[in-house]
A and B are shown apart, each in its own frame.
Chain A
Amino acid sequence: MKKSAPIPVAPASETCLECDGLERFLGEAETRVHVLRGVSLRLERGHVHAAVGPSGCGKSSLLYILGLLDRPDAGTLSISGQAVADLPDDELSRQRNALLGFIFQFHFLLQDFTAIENIMIPMRQLGRLTEPEMRDRAAELLGAVGLGDKLNRPSRHLSGGEQQRVAIARALANDPQVILADEPTGNLDTANSNRVFSLLTDLVRSRDKALLLVTHNPGIAEACDWVHTMRDGLIVDHHRNQL
């Protein structure tokens, strides 16, 4: 059996998400697939991590487990030192809402809502801010992604690049510790892809978040602090880019 590469340690950084020996099976009986075979990973604040590898190697499965959307069959997972893998469903939802931000390849905005309303949706669930405070924060985030003039535009009337920027702002809405992005630039042209990636990494670094993004784009992977290469359900290599 292949072995996962040892986890490198970034001594000066604060670990905010850590997993060890994650395993996951998908499907049943004859179609059962061992998609994660003991994955270990550590994400630190202010760092951008890329997960790369061929299709079907388990990148998205890993992302969903780290994002508390799926449960591992084995292994441990902790956020800010607290074990979360065995928490009840409602508590996982609360942790997702407060500590994690998601960005998907296809922006997945709520089509009936305006840009600012989309960003306020996670804030409403968190319930820490008043309506005007939520509105102000959402407007600030949209301003940060360059959409300050399109606050009240219905999301379906935004271009693909604009929609993905709204999705980035939405991922930051509750000031999460970790952002998980599943090919966030995969559906954009090169210019938009570069713009969205730059925006995302700048925001993550300036706001001291941890970012794990899944990508097939070698250029984007090389621009990340860390690259974790996956193959057949294992991380076979971790390396740090010299930026």
Chain B
Amino acid sequence: MPPSLYIGLRFTVSRKRSLAFSLLGVIFGVAFFICTQAQTQGFEQYFIKTILGTSGAIIVSDRFQSRFTSFDNTAGGTVLSGQARRKYYEGITDAAAIMRVIRQFSNVTACAPIVQGNLTAQGDFQSEIATIQGIDLDLHLQATSLGKQIVKGSLNDYRVRPAGLILGSLLAEKMQVTVGDNVTLIGVGGVRKVATVSAIASSGNNIIDDRRGYVNLRLAQSLLNKPSLVTMIVVTLRDPDGAPQLARHFEELFRHRSRDWQTREHGNLLIFSTLRLSAGITVSLIILLAGVLIFNTLTMTVLDKAREIAILRSMGYRRIDITLIFLFQGFLVALIGSILGAMMGALLTYGISLIPVKITGFFSTDHFIVSWNPEHYLYAVLIAFFAVLTASYFPARRAANLAPVEILRGSGQ
């Protein structure tokens, strides 16, 4: 073992009580950091999974036509005045052709057409405005998680009925209807169709479950008076993170509005990332506090050991050796604190994942959702090492810069 590390280790042992407080700070700081990041990212990932399951990674919708403004003449010369503006035309008229092209992209796993519009759903006791989606069930099941959202009834029943209806769980509750009940759908121009509730779906997102119903694509087109129109195409991807690039490409290719999930949910995602950052900063303060403690401990050690430092210098220890003696003590605290903190963080995370909790709104869950991400451990350890080594550096440098002659001159027993 290098002599500086050997002496540093012995100094650490002799100061074990005061260093133990710093160590505890690092352990708890690292553990809490891991735990809070696991929770916030866990919920964020679950939210993303929910929105990808209900609305896909990309939604291709209205056709547009670019309208460029002309060059403006100004007093100072010619200036290109603006960016492209678009004129939108509702829906997609050539959905089948577009879907054929979309399926050619390697990142695309599935796509499904949807006709969407608002109409009145009338039950025996209650009428509600519903957002009806006309779907091709087989394609829709490939492109969304609707199959997993069914909480009552069956998709087979929906498949065999000519006018089957899948209702959002909250909407069904409001209308006081259940599987097997008839619902009259009143569309554009008063067109009426009677549909039978085949299944009830719960996406976990209250906004969706409160308004949405699914019927056959043709039926929806008839009700909404859009005989050959598709409102949107839902696209799912192998790598959802690649959605923005592909959406831009789709826009250029199809001249249809294409929105990736990151843009659609920008506001909500921002809330999650802000929460995660906020939790990270708050918990990092514990680690920084441990850094202050170790700074204090090592500064006291330097004062206490000034004579021994002078002796070490008289025996040929260089300034860098003295620096290493004290940095090593910090390193040891950071290392042990990180290892124990990571273990404690993993245990806490596991314990929290078992806590039952009922959450509905953005998504629905009955327990805490955590994310097991090695990056949380890496960042916690990096913060711990940065805080502790920075805190150790200043006392270490002070020790190295002590003038041995002045200490020896002034030393008595």
Contact = CB atoms under 8 A, between A and B. Distances in A.
Interface in A156-203: 170, 174, 182, 187
Contact of A125 (B13, B316, B408): B316
A97 B6 contact: no
20 contacts: A69-B314, A69-B405, A93-B321, A94-B316, A102-B311, A102-B315, A108-B307, A108-B308, A108-B411, A110-B10, A110-B308, A110-B311, A117-B10, A121-B3, A121-B312, A122-B315, A124-B3, A125-B315, A125-B321, A174-B316
Interface string B5-16: 011001101100
A185 B181 CA distance: 108
B322 to A, nearest CB: 10
B313 A106 contact: no
B10 A113 contact: yes
Nearest to A121: B315
Given A125-B3, A187-B413, A104 B315 contact: no
B374 interface: no
B316 A93 contact: yes
Contacts, number: 76
Nearest to B409: A60
B318 interface: yes
A144 B405 CA distance: 30
The 3 closest A-B CB pairs, nearest first, are: A97-B316, A124-B3, A112-B14
B335 to A, nearest CB: 21
Contacts of A97: 315-317
Nearest to B10: A112
A149 interface: no
Interface string B295-325: 0000000000001101111111111110000
A89 B404 contact: no
Given A112-B11, A112-B14, A113-B10, A98 B316 contact: yes
A122 B3 CA distance: 9
A112 B304 CA distance: 12
Contacts of B318: 89-90, 93-94
A182 B411 CA distance: 12
Contact of B405 (A64, A89, A110): A64
A88 B177 CA distance: 91
B412 interface: yes
A85 B320 CA distance: 20
B3 A93 contact: no
A45 interface: no
Contacts of B316: 93-98, 100, 122, 125-126, 174
Interface residues of A, number: 33
A38 interface: no
B3 A69 contact: no
A115 to B, nearest CB: 14
A64 B408 contact: yes
Given A96-B314, A106-B413, A69 B6 contact: no
Contacts of B320: 90
B3 A104 contact: no
A70 B320 CA distance: 18
A27 to B, nearest CB: 11
Contacts of A46: none
Nearest to B6: A124
A127 B4 CA distance: 12
A175 B319 CA distance: 23
B208 to A, nearest CB: 67
Contacts of A72: none
Contacts of A89: 318-319
A53 interface: no
A69 B318 CA distance: 11
Which one of B11, B307, B405 has the greatest number of beta carbons of chain A within 10 Å?
A: B405
Contacts of B310: 108
Most chain A beta carbons < 10 A, residue from B3, B14, B310: B3
A125 B317 contact: yes
A67 interface: yes
Contacts of B13: 112
Interface in B390-413: 404-405, 408-409, 411-413
Given A93-B313, A187-B413, A69 B319 contact: no
Contacts of A106: 411-413
Contacts of B312: 121
Contacts of A187: 413
Contact of A104 (B10, B313, B321, B408): B408
A89 B400 CA distance: 12
B326 to A, nearest CB: 15
A90 B310 CA distance: 15
B413 A102 contact: no
A102 B321 contact: no
Contacts of A67: 314
Contacts of A170: 315
Contacts of B308: 108, 110-111
B315 A96 contact: yes
A122 B311 CA distance: 10
